[in-house]
């Protein structure tokens, strides 16, 4: 089979300069191209191991922002090796976290108004098992903060056993 490594994501933005400033400040992004594409301002930058393209659309409706969104369905996920250090570094740069690992753990203990748990896993791919997760062989912590245009960024600290390696280990280095 042909190899298909992930290369880029392209997203609309109300203000590409604001996106550039944010990604450079938060993640030391490098702008590689900017200009106009199909009559819209654009920027192409390399950040967090991929290329991110923002095309300007000043009339784009914004998704829910900080204080409004609680499910974070639409987000970019970034892997980190040390969640506490990543949160501290990004908060020092101005990030406002809407969700932290402690908040996620609390939510997982809660029951929704429907009477169902916040998270229900009905399948775990082998060779991982519920017993192995309960024994601490697999752990996934999450934190979420918002960027320009209410673009949610999710930090993921993943500890997984050597026999899975589902998530790119190089991404956490």
- pLDDT tens for residues 3-31? 888 899 999 999 999 999 999 999 999 99
Does 99 lie in the same domain as 43?
Answer: no
Instruction: Give the phi and the psi of residue 18 in degrees, each rounded to 5.
Output: -65, -40
CATH of the domain at 39: 3.10.180.10
Beta carbons of 161 and 137 less than 8 angstroms apart = yes
| pLDDT score recorded for residue 171 | 42
Does 93 lie in the same domain as 25?
Answer: no
Does 173 lie in the same domain as 125?
Answer: yes
pLDDT tens digits, one per residue of 133-160: 999 999 999 999 999 999 999 999 999 9
Number of domains in the chain: 2
Does 173 lie in the same domain as 156?
Answer: yes
Buried b (16+ CB within 10 A) or exposed e, 3-19: eeeeeeeeebbbbbeeb
Does 71 lie in the same domain as 154?
Answer: yes
Does 126 lie in the same domain as 42?
Answer: no
Does 172 lie in the same domain as 87?
Answer: yes
Instruction: Return mean pLDDT, the chain.
Output: 91
Antiparallel, parallel or unpaired: β 40-47 and 30-37: antiparallel
Which pTM was predicted? 0.87
Averaged pLDDT, 35-48: 94
Does 115 lie in the same domain as 68?
Answer: yes
| pLDDT score recorded for residue 114 | 82
Averaged pLDDT, 87-102: 96
Does 122 lie in the same domain as 72?
Answer: yes
| pLDDT score recorded for residue 172 | 44
Does 32 lie in the same domain as 90?
Answer: no
Q: Which of 16, 32, 59 is the last residue of a domain?
A: 59
Under the banding of pLDDT at 50, 70 and 90, the label for residue 169 is low
Residue 122 neighbours by CB under 8 Å, 6+ apart: none
| pLDDT score recorded for residue 63 | 87
Does 67 lie in the same domain as 51?
Answer: no
Note down the domain range covering 143: 62-173
Does 78 lie in the same domain as 153?
Answer: yes
| pLDDT score recorded for residue 150 | 93
């Amino acid at each position: 089979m042909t190899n298909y490594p992930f290369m880029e994501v392209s997203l609309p933005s109300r203000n590409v300069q604001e996106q550039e400033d944010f990604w450079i400040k938060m993640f030391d992004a490098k702008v590689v191209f900017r200009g106009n594409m199909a009559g819209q301002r654009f920027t192409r930058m390399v950040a967090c191991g991929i290329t991110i393209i923002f095309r300007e659309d000043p009339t784009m409706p914004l998704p829910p922002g900080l204080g409004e969104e609680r499910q974070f369905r639409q987000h970019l996920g970034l892997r980190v090796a040390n969640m506490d250090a990543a949160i501290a570094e990004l908060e020092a740069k101005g990030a406002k976290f809407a969700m932290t690992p402690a908040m996620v753990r609390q939510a997982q203990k809660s029951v929704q108004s429907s009477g169902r748990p916040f998270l229900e896993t009905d399948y775990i791919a082998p060779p991982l098992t519920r017993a192995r997760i309960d024994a601490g062989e697999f752990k996934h912590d999450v934190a979420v903060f918002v960027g320009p245009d209410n673009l949610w960024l999710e930090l993921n600290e993943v500890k997984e056993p050597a026999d899975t390696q589902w998530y790119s280990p190089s991404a956490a280095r």
